[in-house]
Each structure stands twice: as C-alpha cells, then as structure tokens.
A and B are shown apart, each in its own frame.
Chain A
Amino acid sequence: MTDTNTRQEMVLGNEAIALGLVEQGCRVATAYPGTPSSEILAGVVKYKKQLARQVYTEWSVNEKVAFEVALAASWAGLRAAVALKQVGLNVASDPLFSAAYIGVKGGFVIIPADDPGPHSSQTEQDSRLMALTAKVPVFDPATPAEARAMIENAFILSERYEVPVILRPTTRLCHAVQSLPMEVTPAPDGEIPSVKFNKNPTRWAATPKFRYKLHVELNKKLADIEAEFNQSPLNYVVEPIQNPKPVLSGAQRAQVEGSKIQNQVGVIASGVAFNTAKQSLLELDAQIPILKIGTPYPLPQKLVGEFIARFETVVVLEEPDTCIELQLPERSRIRGRLDGTVPTAGELSPEVVSTLLAEVLTGAGYKVNPSLDDVELQTLVNSLPLPIRKPRLCPGCSHRSAFYSLKKEFGLSAIYPGDIGCYTLGSNLRAVDTVVDMGAAVTMANGFYQANRLVGDSRPIVSTIGDSTFLHSGIVPLINAVHTGARFVLIILDNHTTAMTGHQPTPANNYLADGSEATRVASIPNMVRACGVNFVKQTDPYNQETFQEILRDAYNHSQAEDGGVAVIIADRPCVLYDPSSVRDDPLPVVITEECDGCRYCVEAFECPALVLRPDKTRVDIDYKICVNCGQCIDACHKGFIIPEAIANEIPQTVASEATL
C-alpha cells in the first residue's frame, strides 16, 4: 500500500504545525508548555532531527520570554515562531502589542492554541480577539493538513508586510491525528540565510512620536492585507453540489455570484467549525452553501459582504468567541453568538452545531432530517449511577503526600492558595482554595495576608506552587511578598519537571528542549534565598512525619517577630517522569480484613488505587495501578493499611498464639 511518492503518516495536529515550521525554514522556535499547545515544540525537535534542519529550539521559562527570544531572531532576519496556549498569550501580550507596531523582518508566526470547552484551561478566551486588539493578522486552520500548509502562507505574509502573524489552532485541531502525505516541501532556502540584525533605532527602539507613525503604517498594512485576503484561496465558498468540491477561483466565484442563486440560508464558518458544519449539513441532508474563512482578521469584507448578500439568513460558526461576527458592519441577517442562535459558551460540538442549524433551517422553511439523538437512550444513560471520573493525582504522586500532611498540620480552616499544574488537583483533597493563573499562589497569599491583617483574621495561609510554575511566574511575586513583609508558608512542589503537560524541562533541569545538555542549572533553593527568604528547607514529602514537623517550623517562622515568608521545597520526582525512586525502594501494602469501608482513606487521601467496593463493605487496593509507594499507610486512622511484610507475619503470630 505504501507508495514512495505519497507515503502517508498519522500526524498529530500539533506535529503537523511543527512539520510546517521545519519544512518552511523556521530557524528559531520557542515555547512554554500548556495544553493544548505542548506538542508543537516537541514536534519541531522531532522533525528538525528527522529532516536534518538547523533549528534552535527552546522551552523558555515563560511565554513572554519565549515570545521575545523568537521576536529578536525575526528582527535579525530569520524565520521564527513561538508556540503557547491562549492564556500564555496573555503572559506574552506586552511584547505582542508592541511587536505589531514595530513589525518584523524574518517571518514571525505566533501560535496560540485556544481551548473551546474549556478542556484544560482557566478560560475560553479567543486569541483572535487578542489579535484584533493588537492588530495582528490571523490564520485559522480547520485541519492538521491545513495548519501545516498555512505555515507557508503565514511566513510569506509576515515577510511581505513585515508584520507578526498569528496562526490560531484550537484543541480539536491540536489533538486531531490525520493521515498526511510526508513528502517534504523544500525550505525556501536549504542553507541558513545570510541575514543579520540591521541597527535602526528609530524603528526598533521607537519613541512615542514614532510609535504614532508606526501605528499609521500598521493600519495601512492591515488595509492592504484585507485586500489580499479578499483574493486568498484560503477563503472560499463550498457550493452544495453532489460531491462538494471547494476552491472557487476569483473568476468562478464571480460566476456563481452572477448567477444570483437565490438561497434562504448560508453559513460562514472558520476553524474546526467548518468541517463540523459540513458534516452536520450532510447529516441533515441540507443543501446549504458554506463560506470557509481561513483568515478571520482582518476580515475580507468584500468577499464576506458579497456572500451575505446572497441570502436571507447567514449563520456564523466560529470558536470560541465572535471574531468574524464582530467585524461585520451590518448584522441584520446574521445569526450567531450575538443574537443567541449560537451558544455563547462551550464548544461547537457536532450536536450543538446540528441542533442549531436544524433550528435555523426549519425556521426558514427547509425540510431537514430528524435529529440523530435517541432521546430515550440518552435519558436512561443520564439516569444511571455511572461512576464520576474526575481527574485525580496519579498513584504514588508526591503532591498527594504533601497535601495530606498539610491538611493534618493546618486543618481545613487554613487558607490554601493554589496554582496551575497537576497539583491544582489538590482541590480534590481540599488543600487548594484558589486558582487564578500562573504564579498567583504567591501573590494571593501576599494579598490574603494584608487583608487578613486589616480584618483580624488569623487563619494560617499556606500556598502551593510547582517548580515549573515557580520559575515561570513565582519569583517576582516572592520578592514582592518578602519586601512588603508578608507572612505565609509557601510550598514549592518540586517534582523536577513540568509534569501536567508531558514532562518538559525547566531551567532547573540539566537538559534542553532537544535533549542536549544544559551547562547551567538553576537552583531553586538559592533563588528563594536570593529573594530574601530566611526560612528555606528542602525535604522529601514521602517522609510524612518529618515533612509535618518542617511545616510546623515554617509556620512558626512565619509568625515569629523576626520571621516572614517561609518556603519549603517538597523535593521528589514525578512518579511518571522518574519511576525509579519508587521502583527501587518499594513498600507494598495490604488492607487487613478488619477494614470496615469507612471511606476515610478514599476521601482524605484520594489515591486511585484505593477502591471502595460497590457494596461499600471495605476498601481494596487496585494492584494493577498501585505503585507500591506505601504512602497510604498513614491514611487509615484505624491502622488497617499495613506493609505487606508485616501482614505476612501476622497469620504466623495468630497461628502460634492459637496453638498455645
């Protein structure tokens, strides 16, 4: 089946983007991990090795850093890209706005992955709206194949107009896997181009007076880009013919328009919603034209206006918010999020899209297929007591041990500011009370301390933050907290990696994005001391007793006259990242027959390997997933969870007693 010319491979959406970057001669690619964007940089590393291309790849310490490192490479004349999740673009928004005015030299592509749903994010924000505010053109791919192809369009546009551009995928594209042909498009230049940074302070270091000129220039560029987008093959009408063949050239498009087909309803769609709409219309058996928009900002107004003019009603489908719809100068025929036809939150799933299209079409007098939902079955399934599978910390996760000790020492009344990472799941253990954004564990503790001082609230404040998150956004807040005299306990849950997003290295690791050695490794304890913290203790949370004693000392320091912020570094590698420490020193446990199913361990310790029997008579250990960490021994007040070694001795003792 494998033809050498059209060899196919299954490629993850994020890797398709990476492949596009490498084959189009991207020379500097930077990123900070965040679902759903994390596999983009890993993909660049994979393909640069596979295709033997020279690309500098970097897991940066945060998104602002990633953005600026790539931006400088572009100013030096190289093609560059930065990949991040949508909330990461918030972190990098400062340089985004400025870079739009100043512009770029080498093609510069910003890739913020949006998360309609949201599946793994704080918000459902739309990066296209960020682009609209910052005045940065956007490409909005619908499939992995299109995302890969659009990288070329993005680099060319960026270089032609000297503007940064955004290529905006969403979760369902990032995590789609599509069969793609693998013949590689040759890079524009197989060699590193001979470019260099040309000094020009009026532009690169523009003062406000020149910024005004740059703004005027940017507006001019956007007008030209809009004109170009009106002709772009990335924006096209799919007419409802038997075998829908898209791609109408300008001339064909004029022909279709000239024929004045009178239709009641048309659809405008971009991103993943385009194919969902196509599929829904097929399932509904509705012959409806779709205008596919690949470049939602600046919106090709002429093309869109002409399409809208053909219909009584036009439905706009885009995610996660309203970028196309907002740019329409006249919305009397438009059905979208602004008039409530399209839900204003949540993902545009096939069910949501087909339901709303059926409603609009039926209202316009079309006859469509009935809904494919079997309501009876759905109602039954909804009514069944199926187990609720919420995400939980993995068996053996050292965060669980830390949270458990924390609760034992400070109880449930303490205030527990948390942060972004696996350990956000500490909320299941009732040891995370607030989650705002990266680094907020430190700032929220600072603020709670000041507020509590004013109102006379003396509850302990105990924050948790991961190692990668601390390096990303925790250091500056810590300097602030120490300097302003805040008093709280900060626990840095150091599992030696960025665990949640797939184990990307941090500056505290001794290796870099492409696996090469890092010659300088950041020391978290030294950094904490340098912030002015006088209480810094590093300890293994698996030693629960010692950990609890240190928690007590830390709290006492935070309350002492000459005390302040106390920092504990809970030091143990992620059990998935480095299983050796548990594997080499196992402590298998059993639950004795006396277990009465009181559920304390299941709720307070919440290890997935502790399973309450359906009849609730006792708890069993699921040895298929148990990693033999032995951390749950202390999670039974009654002493029914015991080391296997001891359990093996008991029957003998009992037996010998019986013979006496």
Chain B
Amino acid sequence: MTELKVILAGLGGQGVVFFTRLLSQTAMELGHSVMVSETHGMSQRGGSVISHLKIGGSEAPLVRRGTADILLAMEPDEAVRNLPFLRPGGTIFVNSENGLRPEVAEHLERLEIQVHSLPASQMAMELGVAAIANVILTGFAVAYPALPLPIETLRETVKAIAPRGRELNLQALEIGFQAGRSTNDE
C-alpha cells in the first residue's frame, strides 16, 4: 500500500475517535507506520469532530485539503462539510439514509468522487445499540477495494480494543461488511 490518507468525521458522541482507533490499529498490525490527529476537549461536547489518518506516509499530523483518498462520515452534513479534503477520484463512505445533499452531485461527478452510503444508524438501532453505527460503517467501508484493510485483521482489532460488548461489535462489523459486499457486487 502506498500512502493512504483518510478523513473521519462526525459529531461529538458518535464514536469518531473509536473508529479512528479501529482503522489505525488495524493498519499498524499490518506493519504500516501510522499517524493520526484526533479532536479532544471542548469540541467533543456536541461539536463537529474530525480525525485525520495517514497510513504509511508523512509524519505531519494533518491531511491537506484536496489530498484525502477516503472520507468516512458518520453524518451526511459532516460529509459535505469535509468534502474539500478529498482528492479527485476519492471515495466517500457515509452514514446516511439518502446519500448527500443534491447540490454537491455535479461536483462529485466532475471530480469523479464515489459515494457509498449506508443507513448505519438505523441498522444500529435494529441491533438495539445506537452507538454502534460507527463499527457498522467501518465494516461497510472495508468491503470496498478503496479501503484495503482485510476484514480478518479488523476483526482481531475489534477483539483487542473492544473488550466490552465484543460480540456485539463483531456482529456490527459483520453486518456492515455484508452490506458493503452486496452493494459492491451489484
């Protein structure tokens, strides 16, 4: 893998920090050097939360706008807010029932940006735990070649860093992964 730059976005309380750890730890277990920038402090109280993740690349903590390969967003408006981070040809995975605002469609096409959306919050509610939408979205994203992290390693990471509710987390990961596989094959 050459350098992979990922932006992870959402709101305080949506578990952005946790799913950043999930991906970064998995990349590290695969032997890559990893650099992450997290949001702490006051923004965590309901504000916009963003993580920058760099796998196998620069030690600068932040991703420059226009250079991210992937945008993972827990909320469609946060996806739109952070769209300028993506490079042309980049990929968005978003927790949304109906994709992104129509206003951006034309630009997504022009920049050849792929959008894959999944109603992860709804699926999480069906599992009975709203807070697990982040893990579902993670499973969904790794089903695509754009985010080349093997699901097997991700499962190991979940086991390692989510000792509480491990089974539920694995189940959430699986549900997301299967959803990604099926849309991916279509």
Interface residues of A (CB under 8 A from B): 1-2, 8-10, 12, 35-36, 38, 119-120, 142-143, 145, 172-179, 272, 275-276, 278-280, 282-283, 349-351, 354, 371-374, 376-378, 380-381, 384, 386-387, 389-394, 422, 425, 500-501, 608, 624-625
Contact = CB atoms under 8 A, between A and B. Distances in A.
Interface stretch (B28-36, B91-99, B164-172): B28-36
Nearest to B49: A389
A119 B59 contact: no
A275 B59 contact: yes
A38 B42 CA distance: 13
A1 B33 CA distance: 13
Contacts of A119: 41-43
30 contacts: A1-B29, A1-B31, A2-B29, A10-B36, A35-B40, A119-B41, A120-B43, A173-B61, A175-B37, A177-B20, A177-B38, A178-B35, A179-B24, A179-B28, A275-B60, A276-B62, A280-B64, A283-B64, A350-B65, A351-B65, A354-B64, A384-B101, A386-B77, A386-B80, A389-B48, A390-B46, A391-B12, A391-B44, A500-B42, A625-B13
Given A10-B25, A176-B35, A389-B47, A278 B58 contact: yes
A143 B40 contact: no
B84 interface: yes
Contacts of A280: 64
Contacts of A279: 58, 60, 64
B107 A380 contact: yes
A381 B42 contact: no
Given A119-B41, A275-B60, A380-B103, A177 B24 contact: yes
Contacts of B80: 381, 384, 386
Centre residue among A279, A280, A351, A384 by max chain B CB count within 10 A: A279
A328 to B, nearest CB: 25
Given A377-B83, A392-B46, A120 B37 contact: no
A625 B130 CA distance: 9
Contacts of A625: 13
A373 B24 CA distance: 26
Given A172-B37, A175-B61, A377-B84, 9 more contacts: A175-B39, A177-B24, A349-B62, A374-B88, A377-B104, A389-B46, A390-B47, A391-B44, A394-B46
Contact of B34 (A10, A384, A393): A10
B86 to A, nearest CB: 9
A355 B135 CA distance: 37
B42 to A, nearest CB: 5
A291 B180 CA distance: 47
A422 B42 CA distance: 8
Interface residues of B, number: 53
Centre residue among B21, B37, B63, B77 by max chain A CB count within 10 A: B37
A501 B40 CA distance: 9
Contacts of B34: 10, 177-179
A384 B103 contact: yes
Give chain B's interface secondary structure class: mixed
B146 interface: no
B77 A373 contact: no
A175 B42 contact: no
Given A272-B60, A275-B59, A282-B58, A377 B28 contact: no
Interface in B61-81: 61-67, 77, 80-81
Given A1-B30, A119-B41, A178-B36, A376 B62 contact: no
B127 interface: no
A276 B60 contact: yes
Contacts of B88: 374
B45 A176 contact: no
Given A173-B61, A272-B60, A351-B64, A374 B84 contact: yes
Contacts of B58: 275, 278-279, 282
Contacts of A425: 42, 45
B116 interface: no
A350 B37 CA distance: 13
A288 B44 CA distance: 38
Contacts of B67: 283, 372
A373 B58 CA distance: 19
A391 B42 contact: yes
B101 to A, nearest CB: 7
A386 B77 CA distance: 6
A624 B124 CA distance: 11
B61 A381 contact: no
Nearest to B121: A624
Contact of B11 (A35, A389, A422): A389
Contacts of B43: 119-120, 391
Nearest to B106: A380
A350 B65 CA distance: 8
Centre residue among B41, B58, B67, B130 by max chain A CB count within 10 A: B41
Centre residue among B35, B39, B60 by max chain A CB count within 10 A: B60
A391 B83 CA distance: 22
A376 B107 contact: yes
Contacts of A145: 59
A272 B61 contact: yes
Given A278-B60, A282-B58, A354-B64, A381 B83 contact: yes
A143 B34 CA distance: 12
A372 B81 contact: no
A282 B54 CA distance: 15
Contacts of A38: 40
Interface string B1-39: 000000000011100000011001100111111111111
Given A372-B67, A380-B103, A394 B29 contact: no
A342 B38 CA distance: 25
A377 B40 contact: no
Given A179-B33, A377-B107, A384-B101, A394 B64 contact: no
B139 to A, nearest CB: 20
A73 B67 CA distance: 48
Contact of A422 (B45, B47, B87, B104): B45
Centre residue among A1, A10, A280, A624 by max chain B CB count within 10 A: A10
Contacts of B66: 371-374
A10 B64 contact: no
B161 to A, nearest CB: 9
Given A36-B40, A387-B77, A389-B48, A10 B21 contact: yes
A49 B120 CA distance: 39
Nearest to B32: A179
Nearest to A283: B64
Contacts of A176: 35-38, 61
Nearest to B28: A179
A378 B84 contact: yes
Nearest to A501: B41
Centre residue among B64, B80, B111 by max chain A CB count within 10 A: B64
Contacts of B40: 35-36, 38, 120, 174-175
The 9 residue pairs across chains A and B that have the minimum distance between CB atoms: A372-B66, A35-B41, A350-B64, A275-B60, A120-B41, A177-B36, A279-B60, A391-B45, A176-B61
A172 B61 contact: yes
A354 B58 CA distance: 15
Interface in B148-167: none
A355 B64 CA distance: 11
A372 B64 contact: yes
Contacts of A173: 61
A172 B47 contact: no
